[in-house]
Chain A
Amino acid sequence: MHVTSPVREPLIQGGKTYADVTEDICRHVEGKPTKEWKIAFGISLVVLAYGTCCLAWTWWEGLGVWGLNKTVGWAWDITNFVWWVGIGHAGTLISAILLLFRQKWRTSINRAAEAMTIFAVICAASFILMHMGRPWMAYWALPLPNAFGSLWVNFNSPLVWDVFAISTYFSVSLVFWYIGLIPDLATIRDRATSKVSRFMYGTFALGWDGSAKTWSRYEYISLILAGLSTPLVLSVHTIVSMDFATSVIPGWHTTIFPPYFVAGAIFSGFAMVQNLMLITRVVYKLEDYITLEHIETMNKVITLTGSVVGVAYITEFFIAWYSGVEYESYAFINRATGPYWWAYWAMMTCNVISPQLFWSRKLRRSITFTFFISVIVNIGMWFERFVIIVTSLHRDYIPSSWAMFSPTRYDIGDYIFSFGLFFTLFLLFSKYLPVVNMAEVKAVIRSTSAQLPKKIAGVAKVRQREAAAPLFNKDIE
């Protein structure tokens, strides 16, 4: 039996009972969509429609509609891809790594964070398809028997590793998310009044009944999935960074890339989780579930990963000079003082300086400030990828090949497409599925809620009984 010290703030406030949790979380799933939701959904659909038109034209006409040139052959497409994949790291981090570390505060936010992960990875994948130019040939990246003299894909290439990493990450995250959803879908099924929702939730709940045998297997596989997802989430951004690091472009060819990318991914992912949760908690009145403690804890993670990213930037700069390679040194001096200096300094300000403001307890407990910084961090992380990609490419080895990149309306439109897609999916999720994991919150409420005094008395009684006759080992946590 786990007892939290009464000194610590309870994770779930408002003295919730088990029934209250069900009621609070199911309310928005069962009710009619609110006006705010309809407006937000309408805007997302309009944005998505505009983006889809731009995307359709990109595919119809070809990648020439983008602002790419002979020197800068990768720009917004890969920037956006890395940005979205980075954002997509927070959910699995929260659900897997924090599960292994027994961080119980994750229970209030893991469902929404995982959903965000899945949608962000979908957006990232859409940029992979986009930058192929001919998406109908995407299957060429897979090792399929073919008619080209059975020439296979090159398994030495990080781009092929990426195909495997992203698709494995997406499907395993989806499975992890769905496994966590099943008990909650069963709760909604059992409360459903209309035939349609009973059928729909009942189908996806797979006949879940909550028996002790099922729960013990459920916990076991959750633990193994967490154990698998932890190295998986680290491997994905490592492999993404290898897309760059294994090439011989100055500014890309560095061994610091994997840890640096992973820290940046967690940094931007947590910022996006903050953004979404701060809105969700107000719209769905979840202030008792996503408390200031949660927000503060996430801000601490943002500060930590932001500092790691800052150290990485400085290390990179130092090593560029220390290596004595003039191309490498030039690439970095050009980043900071060349024509793209503004992108570099935007990145430095947003990512290195702004999270340091969270050392102030007052600021990291301020909701408005947290929201503001989270947006800033995501802007900064977008610039980081832009700096790495465009700034490293735009000054080629021969000065006659030097070029600048300027986005066209299709570069921008395709980026807008991903926002439309992301918010449409997230809004659908937040209306039709429980945004907080009810079963897991109920499991932590016992030891952490305001009902604590009664429970401690109960536990003490149990302890005495156990001392007399230890019947079984139940002290798992």
Chain B
Amino acid sequence: MAELSGKYLVGVYDDDDTVLHAVPTLRKAGVKIQEVYSPFPIHGMDDALGHPRTRIGIAAFIFGVTGCCVALTLMIWTMGIDWPMIVGGKDSISLPNYIPITFELTVLFTAFGMVTTFFISNGLTPGAHNHERFDVRATDNKFVMAINLGRNSMSEDEISRALRDSGAEEVNIKQF
């Protein structure tokens, strides 16, 4: 939740289906929705809101390739170049024996790299913005829609009415 400032209209829904179908209705009516907060993932919500597809998979792939290269470089250099050793009559560089560790380090780098990227891209840090949220019930049983009034050309009343019509059970005003 980045750069929160201004006046918001907060629509509170009590059902995930309702909020999921409210989003396209409201967007068609010309309301610019900032974000929807929910206690669990609602499939299709990011498409409905028009969020671009996440590129975190690309990051994961790059981390994986890095892990793979690190593992192979480490083993080929230590076993083959820095201190060549013949074990069990095999070549000092014997790729089949390097497969398990290459796999493990690829997984390790991918997992940690991807999760770190996830934390950074969502601004998840210990104790971050614990206080500035629209409605605390969004982690319990409510589905919360935030609309930044400053970025909408429609009036507060119009949006409020549209929210109610789309099934919101409460419409609150939140000022940051």
Interface, chain A (partner B; CB < 8 A) = 1, 17-19, 22, 143, 149-158, 160-161, 164-165, 168, 171-172, 175-176, 179, 182-183, 186-187, 189-191, 198-199, 202-221, 224-225, 228-229, 231-232, 235, 239, 242, 438-440, 442-443, 446, 455, 458-459, 462, 465, 471-477
Residue from A217, A439, A440 within 8 A of B122 (CB atoms): A217
Segment among B123-131, B147-155, B156-164, B168-176 that sits at the interface with chain A: B123-131
Distance in Å: Cβ of B172 to nearest Cβ of chain A:
16
Would you give 29 A-B contacts (Cβ < 8 Å), ordered by A?
A: A17-B141, A18-B140, A149-B83, A155-B97, A160-B101, A164-B101, A164-B104, A171-B108, A189-B130, A190-B136, A199-B127, A207-B1, A207-B130, A209-B138, A210-B139, A211-B36, A213-B35, A216-B41, A224-B60, A225-B114, A225-B115, A232-B104, A239-B100, A443-B41, A462-B17, A462-B21, A472-B44, A472-B48, A475-B44
Q: Is A207 touching B128 in the complex (CB atoms < 8 A)? A: yes
Q: Is B130 touching A172 in the complex (CB atoms < 8 A)? A: no
What class of interface size applies to chain B in its complex with A?
A: 35 or more
Determine the chain B residues whose CB is within 8 A of the CB of A465 once the complex forms.
21
Q: Is B90 touching A156 in the complex (CB atoms < 8 A)? A: yes
Interface, chain B (partner A; CB < 8 A) = 1, 15-17, 20-21, 24, 35-49, 51, 54, 56-57, 60, 74-75, 78-79, 82-83, 85, 87-88, 90, 94, 97-98, 100-101, 103-105, 107-108, 110-112, 114-115, 118-119, 121-130, 133, 136-141
Residue from B42, B82, B126 within 8 A of A203 (CB atoms): B126
The residue among A18, A202, A205, A439 with the most chain B CB atoms within 10 A of its own CB is: A18
Q: A206-B124, A472-B24 are in contact. Are A22 and B141 (CB under 8 A)?
A: yes
| Alpha-carbon distance between A207 and B60 when the two chains are bound, in angstroms | 23
Determine the chain B residues whose CB is within 8 A of the CB of A440 once the complex forms.
40
Closest to A469 in B: B24
Q: Is A168 touching B107 in the complex (CB atoms < 8 A)? A: yes
Q: Is A175 touching B125 in the complex (CB atoms < 8 A)? A: no
Q: Is B46 touching A476 in the complex (CB atoms < 8 A)? A: no
Q: Is A155 touching B101 in the complex (CB atoms < 8 A)? A: yes
Q: Is B38 touching A210 in the complex (CB atoms < 8 A)? A: yes
Q: How many A-B residue pairs have CB under 8 A?
A: 218
Determine the chain A residues whose CB is within 8 A of the CB of B105 once the complex forms.
164, 168
Closest to B33 in A: A212
Determine the chain B residues whose CB is within 8 A of the CB of A231 once the complex forms.
103, 107
Q: Is B41 touching A190 in the complex (CB atoms < 8 A)? A: no
| Alpha-carbon distance between A153 and B85 when the two chains are bound, in angstroms | 11
| Alpha-carbon distance between A152 and B101 when the two chains are bound, in angstroms | 15
Closest to B28 in A: A471
Residue from A22, A152, A225, A235 within 8 A of B82 (CB atoms): A152
Q: Is A204 touching B126 in the complex (CB atoms < 8 A)? A: yes
Extra contacts besides A179-B115, A213-B51, A217-B54 (9): CB < 8 Å: A155-B98, A175-B112, A176-B111, A203-B127, A209-B1, A225-B111, A228-B111, A232-B104, A235-B103
The 5 closest A-B pairs by CB, nearest first: A474-B44, A207-B128, A18-B141, A206-B124, A152-B78
Closest to B90 in A: A156
Determine the chain B residues whose CB is within 8 A of the CB of A476 once the complex forms.
43-44
Closest to B142 in A: A18
Closest to A17 in B: B141
Q: A156-B94, A462-B21, A473-B47 are in contact. Are A210 and B138 (CB under 8 A)?
A: yes
Q: A154-B87, A186-B139, A206-B119 are in contact. Are A473 and B44 (CB under 8 A)?
A: yes
Closest to B14 in A: A18
Residue from A156, A160, A182, A190 within 8 A of B124 (CB atoms): A182
Distance in Å: Cβ of A146 to nearest Cβ of chain B:
11
| Alpha-carbon distance between A215 and B45 when the two chains are bound, in angstroms | 9
Q: Is B141 touching A19 in the complex (CB atoms < 8 A)? A: yes
Determine the chain B residues whose CB is within 8 A of the CB of A199 once the complex forms.
127
Determine the chain B residues whose CB is within 8 A of the CB of A458 once the complex forms.
15, 17
Distance in Å: Cβ of B145 to nearest Cβ of chain A:
10
| Alpha-carbon distance between A187 and B37 when the two chains are bound, in angstroms | 13
Determine the chain A residues whose CB is within 8 A of the CB of B41 once the complex forms.
215-216, 218-219, 439, 443
Closest to A207 in B: B128
Q: Is B45 touching A221 in the complex (CB atoms < 8 A)? A: no
